[in-house]
Amino acid sequence: MRYERVALVFTIALAMAAPAAAQRYTATQNGDVIELRDTTADMTVSVVAKMSNAYQIQVKGHDLVNTAASVEAFEERPGLSGVPLLAPFANRLDQTAFYANGQKYNFDLELGNVRGPIPSTGYVNGSKDWQLVEFKADATGAWVTNKLDFYRIPIFMKQFPFAHTITMTYRVSNGTLEVHTRLDNLSAQPMPVVIGFHPIFHLPDGNRNDWTVSADAKTHWIEIPERLPTGETQPIENFFKADRQSIHLGQYGLIDDVFTDLVRDADGRATMRLSYNGKELDETLGPKFHTVLLWSTPLTSGGGRGFGAGGRGARGRGQGAAGRGGPGRGAAAPPTPSGPFPVDPAKGVRTAPAATPLSGAPSSVGFIAFEPMVAITNALNLAQTGVYKDLQSIPPGGSWEESFWITTKGF
C-alpha cells in the first residue's frame, strides 16, 4: 500500500509538471503586437499584426534585423525595418508603367504611392489595413496569421488592377522563423507574381569588414548604374572575383545586385549565410523564390549603423504606403510620367566595385540584406520584351504560396 501511495504521488507530480514542461512555445498579444516565443532556442519574434511585419527578431537578446527604436516609432515610419513586404512589385521598374498579359498599365503618379522616374519596392509596406486572422501556439510551434484584402483598397487597385488577397503567417519552431506568404487571385485574368521581401541583417560580433557571405546562387545579372538589369548575365564568381561561398564583404563597396539560378538542396531550397567568429545567420529560400538580391553598403566614419550609406534612398528605395493615403498628395504640380529608362549594356557593372577606403576606425556596424524575390528587378517589363523568361503568374481563381526561413547557429 505504501508503494502504491508513493506511485500515486509521483504520477500526480508528473501530471502537474507536464503542462509547464510542454510550454516551449507561446503566442501572446500586447496591443498591436503579437509576440511569438521559443523558450528553448531563446528566440522572440514580435509582429505588428495590423502591418503584418515582424518589426523585431531576437535570438538570445540579439537583434537579427534592422529594428526601430520602439513599436510607436516603427508604426510611424516603418521604412526598411523588420521584414518589409515588397508588393505588388519588388525593386525597380524602368518606367512609370508595367506590362502584364501583354497590356500596358500606367501608374497614376498623383496618388503618391508610386513615384518616378524609377518606381521601386511597391507600396504595400507600411499599410495598416491588415487583419489579424489568428495567433496560436502548440507543441510544434507558435504562429500568427494576418490577411490583406488588396482588392478592397482603391488606391492599391488603381495602380495594380488585379484583385487579390495576401495572407502572411509568421511561425517560430525549433529555433527557426518561417515567413509564409499566400496570394489568392480573385481577378478574371492571370496575375503576375513579382513580390519580394527586404530583411536587413547583421551579426552581434564584428562589423561588415569582418563578415563573410555564402550565396547559393550561380548567376549575376549585369546592371546599369541605376540598378536596372541589362539582360546580360555572368557567373557570380566573375562578379565577386571570389568563391560564392566565401565572399568577404570588407573587400567590396556598394553591393546592390540580383542573382538567379539558385543552388538548391534536396527540398528545393537555397541558403544565404552571413558568418563570423563562430556565429551564423541563415536565410533559406523556398523553391518559388527564383531570385535573391544582395544589398550592402560600405562602412562609414559617421554615426549610425550605416543603413542607406551610398545606398537606396536616393534611388527611390523604401517608398511604401503609410496607410492608404501614401505620401506626396500635396505636390504643387502633377508628376510627369517617364520611361522606359534607357538600358545601355556598355554601362553595365561587370565587376564588383573596389572596397571604399576608410579613414580611421569605422563607427558603424554595417549590414547586408538578403532579399528573397520571386523574379528579378524589372521582371514585368523585361518579360514583355522577351528578355526575362521566368515570370510566374496565378491563374484566375488560383493561388501562389511560398516560404523563406531565418535561423541562427552559435549565438
Tens of pLDDT along 85-140? 999 999 999 999 999 999 999 999 999 999 989 999 999 999 999 999 999 999 99
CA distance 391 to 262: 15
CA distance 17 to 1: 24
pTM comes to 0.85
Instruction: Using alpha carbons, list the distances in angstroms from residue 113 to 162, 288, 380.
Output: 17, 27, 19
CA distance 237 to 279: 24
Cβ pair 53, 33 in contact under 8 A: no
Tens of pLDDT along 232-270? 999 999 999 899 999 999 998 889 999 999 999 999 999
Q: Name the band, by pLDDT with cuts 50, 70 and 90, for residue 364.
A: confident
Cβ pair 215, 292 in contact under 8 A: yes
The beta strand positions in 304-373, using DSSP E, are: 368-373
Tens of pLDDT along 137-153? 999 999 999 999 999 99
Amino acid at 115: R
Q: Name the band, by pLDDT with cuts 50, 70 and 90, for residue 4.
A: low
- Nearest-10 Cα torsion for 371, 372, 378, 381: -170
Provide the phi-psi class of 231: left if phi over 0, else alpha when psi is between -120 and 50, else beta.
left
Answer yes or no: is pLDDT of 343 > 70: no
Instruction: Using alpha carbons, list the distances in angstroms from residue 53 to 28, 36, 226, 371, 409.
Output: 16, 13, 28, 15, 24
| Average pLDDT for the chain | 85
Tens of pLDDT along 37-75? 999 999 999 999 999 999 999 999 999 999 999 999 999
Task: Tell me what percent of the residues of the chain surpass a pLDDT of 90.
Answer: 75
Answer yes or no: is pLDDT of 348 > 70: no
Tens of pLDDT along 155-177? 999 999 999 999 999 999 999 99
pLDDT score recorded for residue 313: 41
Residue scoring higher pLDDT (14 or 411): 411
Mean pLDDT of 387-411: 97
Cβ pair 183, 165 in contact under 8 A: yes
pLDDT score recorded for residue 226: 86
pLDDT score recorded for residue 342: 53
Cβ pair 370, 283 in contact under 8 A: yes
Q: Name the band, by pLDDT with cuts 50, 70 and 90, for residue 22.
A: low
